[in-house]
Amino acid sequence: MLVSTRDLESRLADVRLILMDIDGTLVTSDRVTFDNVSNQLRRLKRHGVPFSVATGRSIAGALPVLERLRSVGTRMSPMINYNGGVLLSAQNLTLIDRHVLPRASFEKALSLCSDIGLWPIVY
C-alpha cells in the first residue's frame, strides 16, 4: 500500500521516538533487511522522527551496528544497552545513565542460582 506524503506526515505527527532491537530486527541473516531499515530510517529523518536502538547487547556488541547506522547517515537518540541497564549517547558514546543492582541483591541472586544448580552469565 502506497501512502501519500501528506498521509505519512499525519501518521507520524504523534510519534516521539522509534526504538528498534538489533538482533532479528536490524541484524538478520540477510543484508536486505538492514538496507531496507536504513532506507526507512532516512525517510523518518526527513519527517523529524527520532530513532534509536534498545538492545540486550553490551556497548561493545552494539558498536558494529551503530557504525553501520552512522555510515548511512543516521543520527540517533541515546541508545539503550544491557536490557535497559545503560543509557548511552549514540553520538559520542558517553554514559548518560546506568542502573545496577545493589551488591547484596546481586549476591543473593547468585546464591539462589547456585542453590538450584544454575550458573548464570553475569555482566
Distances (CA, A) of 19 to 15, 36, 45, 80, 120: 11, 16, 14, 9, 28
Calpha distance 11→107 (Å, rounded)? 48
Calpha distance 27→16 (Å, rounded)? 24
Catalytic residue among 7, 21, 30, 35: 21
Active-site residue, 35 included? no
Judge whether 98 and 72 are in contact, CB under 8 Å.
no
**Cell 553520538 found at:** 91
> Residue 79, CB half-sphere, CA atoms under 13 Å: how many?
29
Catalytic residue IDs = 21
